[in-house]
């Protein structure tokens, strides 16, 4: 491994499609492997190479073997799968800090599996924020035509309204404004969705949307508009003859399943998950472990390839970046 690595890839949950995505990368797009180093378990990959009858030898590939999985027969004990996935992350971050590597791609993990041995783990985004000592961070999804971001991340719906605080909202909008400019060259126009149906109907259906309105009024130097009712925002092209979404670079949703279903339905396998606020570039594919199709070698790797390409481009732009506090 004498080459200079610029990007790390972690295998993710070994009981999911992470190992198969790596094998597809090796066999279909070897050109993308350049400057990449992978953290995972070679035993799993060797077994799958035999299972799928692939003409592939791992000895010449840039893989650091975590050595967690000692036995593999297609079925994983959830606790072992979670332990392995978490270990890949820990080893990768330690390697990243030691060798000053700027980019890391995380393949999907199963949060429940990891929580069996690491109870405080609630997802990659907050884990990386903690690992790099960052308090202000944003889960962001990029597509060449448009992007989206989340105010709240992996929390129950019952906690979303209580989590909506003006100071936190301001910090996240400023971070989106800051990091988007670093990565993509221009300050973004941002649309904010309301929290309640119809943005609360002027207080008839909750008053939390006034927090959003007050925040927008305060941010005079940032191009942000809203709040927009989420249901109508995604249907404007049918009702008005124009698509309001096209006026904005970024749509900021208040919670996970408000913004991601319509965004992924629109942009599918071409959008990439980025964690804003870090001193490095952390990206991920925009899908989960897909355990229902694991071990079939039918997973579509397009999103993974798009993630690799974008990560390499963004990593070159982070040499002198100081996270926004």
**Percent above pLDDT 90 for the chain:** 74
Per-residue pLDDT reduced to its tens digit, 287-299: 999 999 999 999 9
- Predicted local distance difference test score (pLDDT) of residue 1: 47
- Predicted local distance difference test score (pLDDT) of residue 228: 93
Helix (H) or strand (E) holding 40: strand 36-40
Domains of the chain (ranges; CATH) run 1-137+277-325 (3.40.718.10), 138-276 (3.40.718.10)
Q: Cα 39–41–46 angle (5° rounding)?
A: 125
- Predicted local distance difference test score (pLDDT) of residue 268: 81
d(C-alpha 249, C-alpha 317), whole Å: 20
Per-residue pLDDT reduced to its tens digit, 116-172: 999 889 889 989 999 999 999 999 999 999 999 999 999 999 999 999 999 999 999
Helix (H) or strand (E) holding 258: helix 256-267
* DSSP class of 53: T
d(C-alpha 293, C-alpha 1), whole Å: 33
d(C-alpha 168, C-alpha 261), whole Å: 24
d(C-alpha 299, C-alpha 23), whole Å: 11
109 and 289 Cβ atoms separated by less than 8 Å = yes
CA-derived radius of gyration, the chain: 20
Residue ranges in the chain whose pLDDT is less than 70: 1-3, 71-75, 236-245, 318-325
Q: Cα 76–131–112 angle (5° rounding)?
A: 30
Sign of CA dihedral 242, 247, 248, 253: negative
Per-residue pLDDT reduced to its tens digit, 260-275: 999 998 888 889 999 9
For 252, phi and psi rounded to 5 degrees? Answer: -100, 115
- State the greatest distance between any 2 C-alpha atoms of the chain, in Å, as a whole number: 65
CB count, 10 Å around CB of 162?
10
Pseudo-torsion of CA 26, 267, 93, 289, nearest 10°?
Answer: -70
Tokens of 258: 């408000």
């Amino acid at each position: 491994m004498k080459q200079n690595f610029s990007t790390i890839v972690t295998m993710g949950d070994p009981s999911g499609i992470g190992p198969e995505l790596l094998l597809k990368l090796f066999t279909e797009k070897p050109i993308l492997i350049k400057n990449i180093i992978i953290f995972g378990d070679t035993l799993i990959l060797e077994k799958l190479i035999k299972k799928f009858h692939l003409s592939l030898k791992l000895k010449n590939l840039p893989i650091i073997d975590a050595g967690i999985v000692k036995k593999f027969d297609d079925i994983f004990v959830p606790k072992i799968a979670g332990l392995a996935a978490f270990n890949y992350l820990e080893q990768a971050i330690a390697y990243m800090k030691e060798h000053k590597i700027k980019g890391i791609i995380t393949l999907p993990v199963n949060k429940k599996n990891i929580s069996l041995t690491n109870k405080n783990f609630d997802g990659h985004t907050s884990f990386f924020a903690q690992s790099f000592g960052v308090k202000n961070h944003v889960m962001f999804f990029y597509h060449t035509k448009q992007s989206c971001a989340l105010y709240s991340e992996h929390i129950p719906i019952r906690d979303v309204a209580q989590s909506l605080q003006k100071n936190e909202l301001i910090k996240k909008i400023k971070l989106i404004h800051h990091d988007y400019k670093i990565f993509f060259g221009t300050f973004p126009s941002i649309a904010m969705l309301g929290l309640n149906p119809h943005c609360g109907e002027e207080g008839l259906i909750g008053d939390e949307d006034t927090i959003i309105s007050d925040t927008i009024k305060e941010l005079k130097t940032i191009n942000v508009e809203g709040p927009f009712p989420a249901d109508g925002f995604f249907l404007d092209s049918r009702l008005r003859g124009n698509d309001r979404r096209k006026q904005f670079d970024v749509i900021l949703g208040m919670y996970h399943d408000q913004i991601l279903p319509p965004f992924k339905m629109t942009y599918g396998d071409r959008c990439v998950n980025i964690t804003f606020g870090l001193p490095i570039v952390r990206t991920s594919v925009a899908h989960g472990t897909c355990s229902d199709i694991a071990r079939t070698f039918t997973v579509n790797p397009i999103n993974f390839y798009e993630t690799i390409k974008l990560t390499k481009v963004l990593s070159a732009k982070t040499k002198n970046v100081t996270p926004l506090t």
